[in-house]
Amino acid sequence: MPTFLSDDEVTREAIEYDVVIVGGGPAGLSAAIRLKQLAAEQGAEIGVCVLEKGSEI
């Protein structure tokens, strides 16, 4: 019989991003790059995460 952990016993890491893009294809990657460029032009820094379900982009 499997042993399950309670919520008190589980430690999860959380990372906050300003933008999350789902899909690491040409459109997703170009969107991420462009968002970072636009933020840099404004003198801001944003956190962008690209999620891809495949083993590689």
The pLDDT, as a whole number, for residue 26 is: 95
3-state SS string over 6-51? CHHHCCCCCCCCCEEEECCCHHHHHHHHHHHHHHHHCCCCCCEEEE
Tokens linked to 36: 């970072």
Give the span between the Cα atoms of 35 and 43, in whole angstroms: 12
pLDDT (tens place) for every residue of the chain, 57 residues total: 777 878 778 888 999 999 999 999 999 999 999 999 999 999 999 999 999 998 877
Tokens linked to 18: 């300003």
